[in-house]
Amino acid sequence: MHFKASTIFVTGGAGFIGSAVIRHLLQNTHARVVNIDKLTYAANLNSLPGTNENLNYAFEQQCICDGLGLRRLFEKYQPDAVMNLAAESHVDRSIDGPGEFIQTNIVGTFTLLQEALRHWRSLSPEKREQFRFLHISTDEVFGSLGDDGFFTEITAYAPNSPYSASKASSDHLVRAWHETYDLPTLITNCSNNYGPYHFPEKLIPHMIIKGLAGEPLPVYGDGKNIRDWLYVEDHAKALALVLAHGVVGETYNVGGRNERTNLHVVESICDLLDHVAPSATGARRHLMTFVADRPGHDRRYAIDASKLERELGWRAQENFESGIEKTVRWYVDEQFWWRAILERGYAAKRVGLNQ
């Protein structure tokens, strides 16, 4: 598909990855972007500075579980593509309250697929040929790796948390809507994202904010779990590439080739904070505290992104060292963004202990 003169629905566009996608599309393409977001606790329109004045941008507060509401938007905007980033995404929350994950991630994706299909069937043959439905998913659908190996596009699904099971389920629905109804779908599965505008429940922003406050830094279990870190702007570029040039019916893994233990991540944040925002009370590593492990905690994720690199020419531009430094500096400089979240009542407390 071509971005010029096209209209793209981005669901979850007020979320972390969705907002990065919208910023990327508005800055680098001529696409018209419609941000469809329910505005849950993790959504934040402050992550989209300058969009109100942008004639290529529209916002619609809309839940993807509401078929009639979605239908109204499909009729109003006649989109050429849908990028589905609307999701409940926090593993710890899914342990305490899986219901919302089943609703948004499974029922919401189903409802969006149905309305996209209805819209697609109403299009001219030329427009049908061009239409794309890109579903953004996670490497957590593949479960946990041992010491060796990588997730590829043909790794069997083995989700371990309510969150990852709900995303796995949504991936299967998207695949089925292509195989059964010919809806032109694509799926991406990404590793752990990080960068600016990340809601502070996730490891990296949580540690930065706690570190700045001089509070304990809670490391789950032994801290030796491994995640493969992907700078969010590299991810946004990958998604635009898959939308424009990906082969319909295919899935693409997106990962930064940046495996790090949680201990390494937290130590790096401590050292960067000590450098950028020194504390009178000394080195932040002393704040690191081992706490009870996450139930069902996946040990290691690692993505093989060679298909995306080989077939679409994508390359991550940030490595972990460059990305984490940018991220720490952003949180130090842009305190108004995350302090507003704390002021709205986000308590940054431990959840997901299954108690």
| Residue ranges binding ligand DAU (CB under 6 A) | 89-91, 138-140, 191-192, 202-203, 206, 218-220, 225, 227, 262, 294, 301
Choosing from 139, 233, 234, 298, the catalytic residue is 139
- Report the nearest approach of ligand DAU to the CB of residue 266 (Å): 7
* 163 flagged as catalytic: yes
Q: Which is nearer to ligand DAU, 67 or 221 (CB)?
A: 221
Please identify which of the residues 37, 88, 92, 140 carries the catalytic annotation: 140
Kindly give, in sequence order, each residue whose CB lies less than 8 Å from that of residue 138, ignoring residues fewer than 6 positions away: 89, 164, 167, 189, 190
Residue with the shortest CB distance to ligand DAU: 138
Sign of the C-alpha dihedral computed for residues 342, 279, 320 and 142 taken in this order = negative
Is-catalytic flag, 148? no
In whole angstroms, the minimum distance from the beta carbon of 268 to ligand DAU comes to: 13
Q: Which is nearer to ligand DAU, 34 or 174 (CB)?
A: 174
Closer CB to ligand DAU, 35 or 262, in the complex: 262
CB 346 to ligand DAU: min, Å: 13
Nearest to 208 by CA among 323, 109, 313, 83: 323
Measured from the CB atom, the residue of 24 and 206 that comes closer to ligand DAU is 206
Catalytic-residue membership of 139: yes
Q: Is residue 160 left, alpha or beta, with left meaning phi > 0 and alpha meaning psi from -120 to 50?
A: alpha
Catalytic residue among 57, 80, 88, 163, which? 163
Catalytic (active-site) positions: 139-140, 163
